Amino acid sequence: MIHSVGCNCSTSPLGQAAQIPQVVLPPGAPIAANYARNRIRVSATLADGGWYEWHAARAAGPWTRSLISRGFTRFTPVHFSRHRRSHGFAIDRRGVLVAASLDAASVWHPVVLAPGFDFAPVFTSRQVVPNPSLRPAEVTFTNEHSRELWLLVADLRSPSKPRRFRIKPTETVSVEFERDAGARLVETLETRGRVEEYAYELPPQQLNDVSVYEFFLQSVAIDRTKRGNGKIEDINWSPKSIGIFPIPPGNLLRDKVTIDFYGEAKSESNPGGVRRLDMSRWKIDNTVPKGLRVP
């Protein structure tokens, strides 16, 4: 289970709950747990693209963090071998499988597993060098729908705290987005005593997505008695998911662009994929408008 203040996992060797401080992962982010070389070990890739491992002699800690390698997509899955518990695997941003083995001193040794090599090269260094930054882009969201719409604008680096907007029909809202400029992956590999350096361009990463909800009249309580004469006594407004769509990465997101966000979300045909709406953060007015009647 992952919390905003740390990473909790059950540890079968001790049967206790372990909490790793200062590790922030969004809900649903994958982690790998293992027990190797007499230590509890938890591994994950974080928002900075690093593949990390935390280990402790017991669940209560203290926990020690080790950097295994860099150059990974944030929150990409990590796998520990069931047969060789001191071996881990992850796929980097280029789609290359990186394997890491743990020695007796608890030091990880990453190697490349890719076609074209007679032997698995060992990383002697690996760095991600960001390209020159791009200026933020301003996006205007316009409500072309006939009903009020709710927006959740999520930052994929911290998706549990989205920005929230309520936009009535014909209204607009301007939102500023950071843009990732991409990077260069520079790595030095050693194969049988020979050292070579390689550099690869990494494309910009998507940083945001937008979930759209429609605000609709869910139920109406009507007094159908002769005395009530069809008077509306109570109404209940409720949000209904429309869809979720990505904000393009890098220069694919133009500055000063206008987006019909209802049409964009509707075209994705994925109402079940929207981010969860925390109703405690939204105020709904269920007051019956004066003079409202239903035939």
DSSP character string of 60-74:
T---EEEEEE----T
Q: Tell me how crowded residue 74 is: count the other CB atoms within 10 A of its CB.
A: 19
pLDDT per residue over 131-179, tens digit each?
999 999 999 999 999 988 999 999 998 888 899 999 999 999 999 999 9
More confident residue, 23 or 230: 23
- 3-state percent helix, strand, coil for the chain, nearest multiple of 5: 5, 50, 45
pLDDT at 149: 92
Is 234 strand, coil or helix? strand
Q: How far apart are CA 137 and CA 199, in angstroms?
A: 29
All residues at 6 or more sequence positions from 209 whose CB lies less than 8 Å from its CB, including other chains: 153, 154, 156, 244, 245, 246, 247, 275
Q: pLDDT class for 230, splitting at 50, 70, 90?
A: low
Q: Which helix (H) or strand (E) holds 217?
A: strand 208-223
Residue 15's pLDDT is 45
- Tell me which of 137-141, 206-210, 252-256, 278-282 is least confident: 278-282
Model confidence over 103-128: pLDDT tens digits?
988 899 999 886 665 667 888 889 99
Given a cut of 90, whether residue 294 has pLDDT beyond it is: no
Mean pLDDT of the chain: 83
Closest alpha carbon to 73 in 53, 54, 90: 90
Q: How far apart are CA 75 and CA 93, in angstroms?
A: 11
Backbone Cα Rg of the chain: 25
Sequence-distant (≥ 6) Cβ neighbours of residue 290 within 8 angstroms: none
d(C-alpha 89, C-alpha 182), whole Å = 24
Question: Residue 5 CB: number of other CB atoms within 10 A?
Answer: 11
What are the C-alpha distances in Å from 8 to residues 26, 42, 59? 12, 10, 10
pLDDT recorded at residue 223 = 60
Burial class (CB in 10 A: 0-12, 13-18, 19+), 226: exposed
Identify the sign of the CA torsion 285, 288, 293, 295.
Answer: positive
Q: Is the pLDDT reported for residue 82 higher than 70?
A: yes
Kindly state the percentage of the chain with pLDDT values over 70: 77
